[in-house]
C-alpha cells in the first residue's frame, strides 16, 4: 500500500472517469482531470457530469487531447502527479469498424504519450482501462486473466490488447508499476447515449423498437458503475511488485517479472440480455418492442468475469445486483432528461 494524494485522471468527463473523479474528491484526494470533450456524443452530458465537481477546491480541469504529445508533456512537467488513471479512449465496438484510425490515434498513440510522460515523471502507479472485449474468440468462460487474448474481433479490442502489451514493455524497461483493468459491461447513471441501457430506455419510452443483435441471445456480465469505481480505487493504492515466482517457461499473462498486473472487474454473473430488458421494462412500466437481428461483426457472444485474483489481492468483488443498478439508472435518467412515467 502507498499513500497517493495527487492523481491525474484522463477521460474525466466520461462515464467512468467522472464517477471516479467525484469519488476521489469525496475521499479527500487532489485530482487533475483531462478530457478532450469531443463530439462522439452530446457534449452537454459531459458538461453536466463535471458540473458536479468542477468547482471543487481540489479539482483542476484541463481540456486536452491525449493525442497531443506536447500538451501532455507540458501537463506533467507543470504539475506533480503521484499516480495516473488513464480512462481516456475512443469507445464503442461497432464504431471502431467504421473509423479505425480514430481508435489507433487515441487509444494507442494517446496511450503512448501517457506512458512516455509517466516514464519521465516518477509516477508511482499507472492504472489504465482495458476491456472484456479483448477475450474475442476465446470461449473458455468465465474469462480468466490467465486465458489467451490473442484473437480480438474488433479494432477497439485490438487497441486495448495493444495497451496491455505497451504497458508491460514500459514496466519491464523502466520499472513503472502498471495495472490494466478489464472492465465488463459497465452500466449505471450518467452513462453514454450509445450504450445499451440508455439506448433501450430511450426506445422503450418513445415506443420505438430496440435492436437486439444475436437474436437477443447475448449474455453479459453487467457491472454497476460504483463497483467499477471502487475496484479502481482499491487497485490504485496497491501498485504491483515484480513477481519473483514468475516462470518464463510457463508465463502467466496476468503478471510478470516486471511490476505489471492485469485484473478483471466484473460482477462474476452472466445474465441474458432479455432478462436485462425485463428488469428495465418493470422499472419503466412499459413493454419493449424488439427487433431481432443477427450477430454483428466485432461482437462477442458472451462475457463472464473470473475475479478470483481481484478477491485474493484486494478482498473485493462487485456486489450490486442488476435489479438495484437498473433501478438507480432509471431514477437518474428520468431526472436528467426530465421525463415522467
Q: Is residue 156 flagged as an active site residue?
A: yes
Residue 116 domain flag? yes
* Inside any domain, residue 215: no
In a domain, 168, yes or no: yes
In a domain, 203, yes or no: no
Reduced to 3 states (helix: H, G, I; strand: E, B; else coil), residue 193 is: coil
**pLDDT at position 15:** 97
List, for residues 79-115, the tens digit of each pLDDT value: 999 999 999 998 888 788 888 999 999 999 999 999 9
pLDDT value of residue 92? 82
- 293 or 313, greater pLDDT: 313
Q: What pTM, to 2 d.p., does this model score? A: 0.96
Count Cα atoms within 13 angstroms, Cβ side, for 54: 11
The answer to whether residue 178 is domain-embedded is yes
Residue 258 is assigned to a structural domain of this protein:
yes
Angle at Cα 186 formed by Cα 283 and Cα 88, nearest 5°? 135
What is d(CA 93, CA 63) in angstroms, rounded to the nearest whole number?
25
Q: What is the mean pLDDT of the chain?
A: 94
User: Region 18-37: what's the mean pLDDT?
Assistant: 97
In a domain, 191, yes or no: no
* Span 181-229, pLDDT tens digits: 999 999 999 999 999 999 999 999 999 999 888 888 889 999 999 999 9
Q: Any bridge partners for residue 62, and if so which?
A: 34
- DSSP annotation of 288 reads P
Look up the CATH number of the domain holding residue 313.
Answer: 3.40.50.720
* Inter-residue contact 330 to 189 (CB < 8 Å): no
For cell 458503475, name the residue.
225
Angle (CA) 213-217-218 rounded to 5° is: 75
Model confidence at 275: pLDDT above 70: yes
- When divided into structural domains, the chain yields a total of 1
Contact predicate 24/58, CB 8 Å: no
Give the whole-angstrom CA distance, residue 35 versus residue 62: 7
Instruction: Give the span between the Cα atoms of 302 and 138, in whole angstroms.
Output: 10
Domain ranges, residue 113: 6-184+223-268+303-319
Which residue in the list 156, 170, 263, 304 is annotated as catalytic?
156
Cis peptide leading into residue 142 (ω within 30°) = yes
Whether 328 maps to a domain, the answer reads no
Give whole-number Cα distances, 295 to 216, 217, 304, 312, in Å: 9, 9, 18, 36
Per-residue pLDDT, 1: 61
Has residue 273 got a pLDDT over 80?
yes
- The tens digit of pLDDT for each residue in 226-252 reads 999 999 999 999 999 999 999 999 999
pLDDT tens digit string along 126-177? 999 999 999 999 988 999 999 999 999 999 999 999 999 999 999 999 999 9
Amino acid at each position: 500500500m502507498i499513500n497517493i494524494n495527487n492523481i491525474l485522471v484522463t477521460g474525466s468527463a466520461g462515464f467512468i472517469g467522472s464517477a471516479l473523479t467525484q469519488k476521489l474528491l469525496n475521499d479527500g484526494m487532489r485530482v487533475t482531470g483531462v478530457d478532450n470533450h469531443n463530439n462522439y456524443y452530446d457534449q452537454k452530458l459531459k458538461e453536466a457530469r463535471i458540473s458536479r465537481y468542477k468547482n471543487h477546491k481540489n479539482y483542476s480541469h484541463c481540456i486536452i487531447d491525449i493525442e497531443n504529445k506536447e500538451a501532455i508533456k507540458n501537463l506533467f512537467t507543470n504539475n506533480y502527479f503521484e499516480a495516473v488513471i488513464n480512462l481516456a479512449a475512443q469507445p464503442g465496438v461497432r464504431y471502431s469498424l467504421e473509423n479505425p484510425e480514430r481508435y489507433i490515434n487515441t487509444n494507442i498513440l494517446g496511450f503512448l504519450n501517457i506512458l512516455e510522460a509517466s516514464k519521465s515523471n516518477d509516477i508511482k502507479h499507472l492504472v489504465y482501462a482495458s476491456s472484456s472485449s479483448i477475450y474475442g474468440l476465446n470461449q473458455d468462460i468465465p474469462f480468466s486473466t490467465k486465458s489467451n487474448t490473442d484473437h480480438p474481433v474488433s479494432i477497439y479490442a485490438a487497441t486495448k490488447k495493444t495497451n496491455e502489451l505497451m504497458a508491460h514493455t514500459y514496466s519491464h524497461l523502466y520499472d513503472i508499476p502498471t495495472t490494466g483493468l478489464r472492465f465488463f459491461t459497465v452500466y449505471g447513471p450518467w452513462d453514454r447515449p450509445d450504450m445499451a441501457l440508455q439506448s433501450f430506455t430511450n426506445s422503450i419510452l418513445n415506443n420505438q423498437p430496440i435492436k437486439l443483435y444475436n437474436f437477443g441471445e447475448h449474455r453479459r456480465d453487467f457491472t454497476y458503475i460504483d463497483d467499477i469505481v471502487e475496484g479502481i480505487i482499491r487497485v490504485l493504492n496497491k501498485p504491483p511488485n515484480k513477481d519473483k515466482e514468475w516462470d518464463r517457461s510457463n508465463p502467466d499473462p496476468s503478471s510478470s517479472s516486471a511490476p505489471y498486473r492485469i485484473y478483471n472487474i466484473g460482477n462474476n454473473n452472466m445474465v441474458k440480455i432479455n432478462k436485462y430488458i425485463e428488469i428495465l421494462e418493470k422499472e419503466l412500466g412499459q413493454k419493449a418492442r424488439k427487433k431481432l437481428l443477427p450477430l454483428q461483426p466485432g461482437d462477442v457472444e458472451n462475457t463472464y468475469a473470473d475475479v478470483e485474483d481481484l478477491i485474493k489481492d484486494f478482498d473485493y468483488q462487485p456486489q450490486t445486483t442488476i435489479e438495484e443498478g437498473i433501478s438507480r439508472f432509471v431514477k437518474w435518467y428520468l431526472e436528467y432528461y426530465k421525463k415522467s412515467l
